[in-house]
Amino acid sequence: MIRDQQPEDDAAVRQLVEDAFRGRPYSDGTEAPIVEALRAAGALTVALVAEEDGEILGQVAFSPVAINGTARDWYGLGPVAVRPDRQGQGIGQALIRAGLDRIRALGAQGCVLAGAAGYYRRFGFAADPRLRSPGIPPEHFLVLPFGAQVPSGTVEFHEAFEAA
C-alpha cells in the first residue's frame, strides 16, 4: 500500500533511508538528514511511503526547485529509498510513479533529479542541455517535463539539500 507519510513514520523512514544508502558508492550519507531537513522546512510537497503488514518498505520525497532563482512549478525527486532486502521488487518504481502522478495533479510543470539515467529512463527522465544544476554531472542531472515547455537555466534544489 502506498500512502502519505505521517509524522509517526519519521523514525522508521529515517532508519529505512539510512539502511538503503549505507555503503553505496554514490551516497555521501546525507540522504536521511535531507529528508528530515525538507520536512522541518515544510518543503516536502509529496512524501509517500510503501507499507506492507504495518512495515514501511520504501519512501519517496518530492520538493520544489527553483530555476534561475524563480519557482516555476518544477519539483525535485529524491531521496527515494527501499529497504535493502526488498529492493528489485518494484517498490521504488511504484513509489516514483505515484509521486509523479501526485505532483502532476498539483499542476507541476516538470520534475528533475540527480541519478542514474539507466534506472530513471523508464519514467521518461533524460538529460536535457537546457537545464543544469551546479555540481551534478550533466549525464546524471535528469529532467522530466510534463508539457511542451522546458525552461533554460540553472536548477537549485531546496536549501535542505545543502544544509544536510
The tens digit of pLDDT for each residue in 70-123 reads 988 999 998 999 999 999 999 999 999 999 999 999 999 999 999 999 999 999
Q: Please tell me the predicted confidence (pLDDT) of residue 30.
A: 87
- Helices 10-21 and 31-40, axial angle in degrees (round to 10): 150
Cis check for the bond before 129: say yes or no (omega within 30 of 0).
Answer: no
Homologous superfamily assigned to 2-163: Gcn5-related N-acetyltransferase (GNAT) (3.40.630.30)
| Cell 535493502 found at | 84
Please report, for the chain, the start and end positions of each structural domain, with discontinuous segments joined by +.
2-163
pLDDT reading at 164 higher than 60: no
Closest CA to 80 of 66, 101, 94: 94
Q: Please tell me the predicted confidence (pLDDT) of residue 24.
A: 80
* pLDDT tens by residue, 17-72: 999 988 787 778 889 999 999 999 999 999 999 999 999 999 999 999 999 999 88
